Amino acid sequence: MERQIEFQGAYTQDQIERAVRLANQPSRTQWLIRAVLAALVLALSGWYLYDLLTAGSFTLERFLRFLLPVAVLAFFLLVPVILTRRAAQQIWAQAVQAGTLHGFMDAQGVTFGAEEDDQVLWEQYGRGRAEADLIVLVTTGGLLTALPRPFFASEADWQQAHELAAEQVKLVGDTEIDQ
């Protein structure tokens, strides 16, 4: 018979915020693209402002034309942060209402509660991230599953859960388990 790794606990606000941040963390390629685009917009804006000030033709219209790419850049950089914060607040509100979460992990997937209907199969998880004390799994449909270390009764259960998740879903991040 296969082993079921049981978990139970109530989320803290910090755990929810960390899980959402971890789930939404861009890849290195995405960070590189954002950094290059931000540098390009800033360089072009700086050149335009320098040209505007040295040419002696400073007008409100030209200054507003300068501000447009800067505003677009600020929007581009701040929207992911704002959306992540909003998502964490919504999930926290749901977690407070739900109370204690319990379930188990096994070779088929993660089951919440005692009902097999509340099972998320490993094949449904598209990606995952892990830290030393938190496993975050995200389905292809965007459903977030956060499993903090305190949800597991023993260190052995935590290690087995971490290893099972790493086997079934490609985990990115600090996948080392503290011994």
Spell out the per-residue pLDDT of the chain, length 179, in tens: 477 999 999 888 888 888 888 888 777 888 888 888 888 888 887 887 787 778 777 777 877 877 887 788 888 777 877 777 787 778 777 766 667 888 999 999 999 876 666 889 999 998 888 888 999 998 888 888 899 999 999 999 999 999 999 888 877 665 443 32
Q: Which CATH number fits domain 5-11+100-173: 2.30.29, 1.25.10, 3.30.2320, 3.30.499?
A: 2.30.29
Shortest CA distance to 90 belongs to which of 16, 9, 143? 16
Are the C-beta atoms of 69 and 44 separated by less than 8 Å?
yes
Spans of all domains in the chain? 5-11+100-173, 28-95
Cα 134 from Cα 17, distance rounded (Å): 12
Whole-number Å distance between alpha carbons of 11 and 105: 18
The answer for residues whose C-beta is within 8 angstroms of residue 164's C-beta and 6 or more apart is 5, 105, 106, 107
* pLDDT computed for residue 149 by the predictor: 95
**Contact 24/146 with Cβ under 8 angstroms?**
no
**Cβ atoms of 162 and 20 closer than 8 Å:** no
Q: In three state form, how does the secondary structure of 110-151 look?
A: EEECCCHHHEEEHHHEEEEEEECCEEEEEECCCCEEEEEHHH
* Model pTM score: 0.69
Report the C-alpha gap between 95 and 75 in whole angstroms.
Answer: 30
The single residue listed with the structure tokens 């052995």 is 156
Burial class (CB in 10 A: 0-12, 13-18, 19+), 78: exposed
